[in-house]
Amino acid sequence: MARALLSAEEVRARLVRVPAWTVADGRLRREWRFADFSAAFGFMARVALLAERADHHPDWSNGYGRVTIELVTHAAGGLTAHDFDLAEAIDRLGA
């Protein structure tokens, strides 16, 4: 399904709903800190299940106690509502 790019104004409006996320290099980005690697990895597993259900897969990295997630709709070449919807779903997981 084709996804429509959001305008800069639409991105700013959607950011209000995900205040812990930032936009950098055309991507939504957020970092989490955890007590240890196991807790970080558990969070990543929960996000992976959400992402699979949404058919939208994040770019991410992790290190000991840290997870960084970036969202962008590659097929659209930028940010779409799909990115913000997944960001909201991830936030609802509670870290």
**16-57: pLDDT as tens digits:** 999 999 999 999 999 999 999 999 999 999 999 999 999 999
Q: What integer is the mean pLDDT of 7-12?
A: 97
Whether pLDDT at 65 is above 80: yes
Predicted confidence (pLDDT) at residue 1 exceeds the cutoff of 60: no
Alpha-carbon dihedral of residues 49, 44, 51, 30, nearest 10 degrees? 150
Span 8-93 CATH architecture: 2-Layer Sandwich (3.30)
Report pTM. 0.93
Q: Any idea where the domains of the chain sit in the sequence?
A: 8-93
User: What distance in Å separates the CA atoms of residue 28 and residue 87, rounded to the nearest whole number?
Assistant: 8
Q: How far apart are CA 8 and CA 59, in angstroms?
A: 22
Backbone angles phi, psi at 13, to 5 degrees: -65, -40
Output Rg (C-alpha) for the chain, integer angstroms.
13
Confidence grade of residue 94 (pLDDT, cut at 50, 70, 90) = confident
Residue 79 predicted with pLDDT over 90? yes
